[in-house]
Amino acid sequence: MSSTQLARATPVAASIGDDGAFNFHLPDHLSHVSIDRDLSWLRFNDRVLAEALDERTPLPERAKFLAIFTANLDEFFMKTMAVLHESDSPGKAHLLKQLTDALLPSFHAQAKCFKENIVPGLAEHRIYLRHWHDLTKSQRAAAEAFFDQEVSPALTPLIIDSAENFPFLSHLSTSLVFSIEDTESTQSMYARAKVPTGHHFRCSRSLPPSHPSLAFAGT
């Protein structure tokens, strides 16, 4: 393209800045050439998902790309979507709908890939993801011992009391909420326990096999 053609080219309005959304109303004659930054980013992340969906990609790499896709969306929701929900941009509602419409097909493809490709593929290599009811008696005993020895000591349950501030929920963490009952007063209450993480804590465990290399991951 020559400098003259470049000068006459139709300008493209793009979302710029930390807000991730337009803070002004675009004229109608520019709406068809505008490129929203967040929608563009979702298209980029779909390219990561496409690598996981590609059957030519080796299984370990497919699992890795699926994990990257998911981690990217974690950050997207923590930052971009949170800021957008708090903004007072004129195009907020429309952009939220566009983002939702773009995200839902990706979520469905992600779940389908994990369930129909990753999990069966790992099983072919004797790496199994099992529910509690799928385990044998000896495997359940080993899982219970693992919980008592490694998981339980790392748990710090907190009572959820309406008179106190709600427990802090850290980013990218998993918390379990339990309904418990006081044996003396028979009063029921809720308690929250954060699932421990870190390099010292394993979320998977080898169990007594019906197959030599059976592995268990809690769900």
3-state secondary structure 43-60: HHHHHHHHHHHCCCCCHH
| CA 91 – CA 218 distance, rounded (Å) | 43
Please state, for a pLDDT cut of 90, what percent of the chain lies above it.
27
Same domain, yes or no, for 95 and 146? no
**Domain boundary at 101, 124, 147, which?**
124
Instruction: Quick: pLDDT tens for 19-75.
Output: 444 445 555 665 555 667 888 899 999 999 999 999 999 999 999 999 999 999 998
Q: Which domain holds residue 195?
A: 132-217
pTM above 0.85, yes or no: no
DSSP-assigned letter for residue 210: S
| CA 216 – CA 207 distance, rounded (Å) | 7
Whether the CB-CB separation of 20 and 42 falls below 8 Å is answered with no
CA distance to 11, 113, 200, per residue, from 193 (Å): 53, 30, 18
Same domain, yes or no, for 114 and 139? no
Specify the length of the chain in residues. Answer: 219
Calculate mean pLDDT across residues 147-171.
81
Same domain, yes or no, for 79 and 143? no
Calculate mean pLDDT across residues 150-173.
80
Q: Which residues contact 37 (CB under 8 A, 6 or more apart)?
A: 14, 15, 16, 20
Same domain, yes or no, for 117 and 152? no
Quote the mean pLDDT of the chain: 78
